[in-house]
Amino acid sequence: MSTETIIERCEALHEDLYFTAAREWKDAAPGRHVIGHLPIYVPRELIHAAGMLPLGIYGGGDNMEVIQGDAYYQSYICRIPRSTMELALSGRLDFVEGMLFPSICDVIRNLSGVWKLTQPDVYVRYVDLPQNYKSEVGGSFYVEEMREVLAGLEGISGRKVTNDDLLNSIRVYNYNRDLVRKLYQSRVEKPWNIPVTEVYLLMRAGMVLPVEEHNEMLESYLVAASETERPQRDNTRVILNGLFCEQPPLGLIKSIELSGCYVVDDDFILINRWLRENVDDSGDALTNLSEAFLEYSVRTSATYEPERELKGQHLLESIKNSGAEGVIFSAPSFCDPALLEQPMLVDILDDHNIPNIQFKYAENTGQMQPIREQAGSFADSIKLWS
Amino acid sequence: MSDSKKKAQVDLSKDVQKDQSQILQKEMIRGNFDKLARADQNPDDKVVYTFVPGNLNELVHCFDVVGNYPEVNALQSAMQKKTGAYVMEAERSGQDEDVCTYVKADLGMMRRGNIGPSGQKVAEPDLLLLSYTGCFTFMKWFELLRHEYKCETTMLHVPYQGDGEITKHMRDYVVKQLKEETIPALERVSGVKFDIDRLRENLRESAKAEEDLVKVLETAKLRPSPIDSYFGAIYYVGPMFSAFRGTPEATAYYKTLWAEVEDRVKRGLGPVTPEGEMGEERYRLVVEGPPNYTSMRDFWKMFYDEGAVVVASTYTKVGGNYEFGFRHDPDNPLETLADYCFNCYTNYNLPQRTDMLEHYMDEYQADGLLINSIKSCNSFSAGQLLMMREIEKRTGKPAAFVETDLVDPRYFSASNVKNRLESYFQMIDQKRQAA
């Protein structure tokens, strides 16, 4: 299968705001259930082990007109909660029986309450991810949180989830993590061969497909990409930072690439790469998931960095590992985590003389020309003067 | 010209009338700023910065350190019209226009020499005690301060009441953090060993003060209400929400306050406003959301000029909620600190917050709900439009929505707010007539 064919399928999935693939999966056999989750991270292994399909809800994008959702949010709140509400109020999520809202920010946190009040028939759970990374403190808490989520899922399915079920799901997701890491590494090695739009679409596909199908898709893409040689351009290698929750329009991502940038790392759809190492697939599964969370979680704006000296080091490491020449901070308007974090990261990059620029977007941003010009000037300035 | 417009021309710069309790509070606050200024000169005096929601004052006082509350500095600076410049200073140094103005007011104040609202220098922190309770921004705020001050920081993660309950594992998590993170950090910085009996004593003091505060707030159930539970109560909760809860001074303050309010009850008086007695009580309101501090007196005047009194508010529960029975319990010192944190208003989920508003509407015989939605504060604001509709649906009473900001003067449009309020009061009148 060619990369074009695979990406065409991903594009269709990305544009489908009725989540037909997930609906078809649910309808294919009796007793199947779909559980939605918001960015940034939930342990999808729990949903999978319960025999359910995790469905990543990343807002409505730029192809959906938000009418009802706007009545729920003031103008100074970001767009993802209003478009997510629009998805629900317009019936696009009427097949979703549970929703998990991870602790990313106050807006998504409060959206869990909005869901409780407006969708009384849906199982709603706020997943409080620990900000204390000690095993006996945050770890114990997280195990209990996961136990409660599992109990909620078991309530929907009427089926007990065993430790073996969980270990099996860990194995399936470990393989997914392997493939995603391989994809990102391949892009670092040959960014001209694996464009950022394709990586992005592949990551988004993982939000709506069963993980087994996503694994097959990634395998096929990696093979196809390795057999294809695309022309190498004199582009600048950059990292995109700040796009972990509300998603940029695809046109924005394309514009950055077309402006002369090779994106060699990013933080969109972080759930696919949240755990930097695989989870132990023997012993007590919940403990393993918890330990992996504490030990291997990526550093991001939505989390606390306990060690002052380590603040921003993940970005410096990423720059080193990917050979990036600059960083583009691209955050959604009104995004507290990204925008509050940004000045600290900018300081750290400035201290290391790493070029960077900042701009904001919304998921329905329509004007790409200014972004293209800004990113293009940034890329040119690096080529000319760095 | 209408009477209300004539009243609007009253010179707001004239001195407000002050009760004994207000004078007491002013002295307490002044005393703490004096300590913070002295600490700037004396490295042996250790300074701990922390937040209002989830503040562990009883614990902090066990270590002979001086507490500093950046939110309190910001709101007091706002009342002195200083925060506009602070916010812009912070934006010039890289903070985005979209983010919390409390943070920017604090960072701006720091960049301008950290001169606090008392006009004295506020000492730099020896410890940032990040009580992460009900507000995501807190986490980044203290990371930003740590980035500037390069000082020790300790985080207390207080789980959110996502399902509207406090479970055993939530409480255990907080208690473990207190034992393994917070107390060792305070011991390290202060050089003082933790004494649990001292903590129990502070908790006993807290419970006494909490009892009196609740008595004061519950007088608003009377007609006329002797207090304003928003504009007035913001002052009443001052010592409880900041550096004084758990001290004998706070206990004395609340005893004095209760005596004053009890006297007003006996005499059948309404609230005291900056211009004296309020006069006839025409509208009884419940208010959700923080106030605007940059034009606080103008804002309040829009209410009392129309005879509107706030009988219950949620903002006055943001630093702790005592009216549903919680009191600090000296017999379970660490568990009670955890329970206190869980019960700060913004740590409640939206259904809990909505139920609480409905309870206020009924118990305090309110004519309506007003939401003051704050541009800066997503923790409060996200979901408020739904809460408003829910309360209208459940109570049949009218609700209204105004938008301002805590400390950024650019987001307070007096004419817009006044027009909305006047329309709202007319709406309440029409509802009454229809009934």
Closest CA to B353 of B378, B387, B327: B387
Q: Measure in Å the smallest separation between the Cα of B427 and chain A Cα atoms.
A: 21
Shortest CA gap A127–chain B (Å) = 8
Q: pLDDT tens-digit profile of B215-250?
A: 999 999 999 999 999 999 999 999 999 999 999 999
**How close B127 gets to chain A, by Cα (Å)?**
13
Pick the residue from chain A with its C-alpha nearest to B411: A76
DSSP-assigned beta bridge partners for residue B154:
B129
Residue with tokens 């206190």: B340
Distance CA A202, CA A3 (A): 11
Gyration radius of chain B over CA positions: 21
Best mutation target among B131, B174, B350 (most A Cβ atoms within 10 Å) is: B350
A361: which chain B residues are within 8 Å (Cβ-Cβ)?
none
Q: What is the pLDDT of residue B15?
A: 54
The first and second tokens of residue B382, run together, are: 């996200």
| A304 close to B (CB below 8 A) | yes
Tokens of A60: 């409505």
Going across the sheet that includes B283-288, the strands are: B308-313, B283-288, B368-374, B399-404
All residues of chain A having their beta carbon less than 8 Å from the beta carbon of residue B383 are: 72, 110-111, 113-114
Does pLDDT of B13 surpass 60?
Answer: no
Q: What is the Cα–Cα distance from B108 to B85, expressed in whole angstroms?
A: 8
Chain B interface includes A168 (CB < 8 A): no
* CATH for A143: 3.40.50.11890
Q: What gap in Å lies between CA A20 and CA B335, rounded to an integer?
A: 49
Q: What is the largest CA-CA distance in chain B?
A: 67
Q: How far apart are CA B290 and CA B403, in angstroms?
A: 10
Secondary structure (3-state) at A233: coil
Tell me the average pLDDT across B82-111.
97
Hey, which residues 174-203 in chain B have their CB within 8 Å of chain A?
Answer: 176-177, 180-181
- Tens of pLDDT, residue by residue over B124-154, are 999 999 999 999 999 999 999 999 999 999 9
d(CA B121, CA B114): 6
What's the half-sphere exposure (Cβ side, CA atoms, 13 Å) at B66? 26
**8 A C-beta contact, residue B317 and residue B30:** no
Touching check for A130 and chain B: CB below 8 Å? yes
Pairing of strands B308-313, B368-374: unpaired
- pLDDT higher than threshold 80 for residue B11: no
State the DSSP H helix or E strand holding residue B260, giving kind and residue range, or none if neither.
helix B248-267
CB contact under 8 A, B384 and A74: yes
pLDDT at B8: 41
Amino acid at B403: E
What is the C-alpha separation between B166 and B321, in angstroms, rounded? 14
Cβ–Cβ contact A337 with B under 8 A:
yes
pLDDT digits (tens, 9 = 90+) for B156-196: 999 999 999 999 999 999 999 999 999 999 999 999 999 99
Residue A86 lies in a domain: yes
Phi-psi region of A248 (alpha: psi -120 to 50; beta: other; left: phi over 0): beta
Domain that holds residue A95: 13-164
Asked whether residue A152 is domain-assigned, the answer is yes
Calculate the alpha carbon distances from B431 to A55, A156, B286, B365, B435 in Å: 46, 44, 16, 15, 6
* B residues 86-105 lying closer than 8 A (beta carbon) to A: 93-96, 98-100, 103
Beta-strand pair B276-277/B272-273: antiparallel
State the burial class of residue A121 (Cβ atoms within 10 Å of its Cβ: 0-12, 13-18, 19+).
exposed
Where does residue A281 rank: exposed (0-12), middle (13-18), buried (19+ CB within 10 A)?
middle
**Residue A290 sits at the chain B interface (C-beta within 8 Å):** no
Residue A349, token pair as written in the block = 């990059």
**Dihedral through CA A93, CA A96, CA A97, CA A101, nearest 10?**
-80
**DSSP label at A247?**
P
Residues 6 or more apart in contact with residue B11 via CB below 8 angstroms? none
Q: Residue A315 domain-assigned?
A: no
Of A116, A308, A334, the CB nearest to B150: A308
What is the mean predicted confidence (pLDDT) over B322-329? 97
- B432 φ/ψ angles, rounded to the nearest 5 degrees: -65, -45
- ipTM given for this complex: 0.96
Mean pLDDT taken over chain B: 95
Q: Which residues of A touch B153 (CB under 8 A)?
A: 308
- pLDDT tens series, chain A, 386 aa: 899 999 999 999 999 999 999 999 999 999 999 999 999 999 999 999 999 999 999 999 999 999 999 999 999 999 999 999 999 999 999 999 999 999 999 999 999 999 999 999 999 999 999 999 999 999 999 999 999 999 999 999 999 999 999 999 999 999 999 999 999 999 999 999 999 999 999 999 999 999 999 999 999 999 999 999 999 999 999 999 999 999 999 999 999 999 999 999 999 999 999 999 999 999 999 999 999 999 999 999 999 999 999 999 999 999 999 999 999 999 999 999 999 999 999 999 999 999 999 999 999 998 899 999 999 999 999 999 87
Compute the distance between CA of residue A327 and CA of residue A314 in angstroms, rounded to an integer. Answer: 13
Instruction: Out of B176, B353, B382, name the one closest to residue A77 (CB).
Output: B382
pLDDT for B434: 86
Classify burial at A357, counting beta carbons within 10 Å of its beta carbon; exposed 0-12, middle 13-18, buried 19 or more: middle
CB B235 within 8 A of CB B261: no
Q: Which two tokens stand for residue B179?
A: 């034992």
**Is B150 touching A (CB cutoff 8 A)?**
yes
- Domain tally for chain A? 1
* Residue A188 located in a structural domain: no
Longest dimension (CA), chain A: 63
- The C-alpha atoms of residue B292 and residue B234 are separated, in whole angstroms, by 11
Find residue B155's DSSP bridge partners. B130
The amino acid that residue B305 corresponds to is D
**Amino acid B2: pLDDT:** 44
The answer to whether position A74 is within a domain reads yes
At B18 the pLDDT is 73
Of B153, B177, B386, the CB nearest to A117: B386
Tokens of B62: 């066990």
- DSSP lists the bridge partners of residue B276 as B273
Q: What residue ranges in chain A does DSSP mark as E strands?
A: 34-37, 53-56, 96-102, 123-127, 236-241, 261-265, 326-332, 356-361
What is the rounded end-to-end Cα distance, in angstroms, of chain A?
40
Residues of B in contact with A132 (CB under 8 A): 155, 157, 173, 177, 181
Q: Is the peptide bond before B224 cis (omega within 30 degrees of 0)?
A: yes
The single residue listed with the structure tokens 């934006």 is B91
Res. B278: pLDDT tops 90 = yes
Contacts of B157 in chain A (CB under 8 A): 130-132, 138, 304
Best of A137, A245, A301, A310 to mutate (most B CBs within 10 Å, chain B): A137
Three-class secondary structure of residue B325 per DSSP:
coil
Q: Is the CB of B382 less than 8 angstroms away from the CB of A342?
A: no
Please, which pLDDT band fits residue B16 given cuts at 50, 70 and 90?
Answer: low
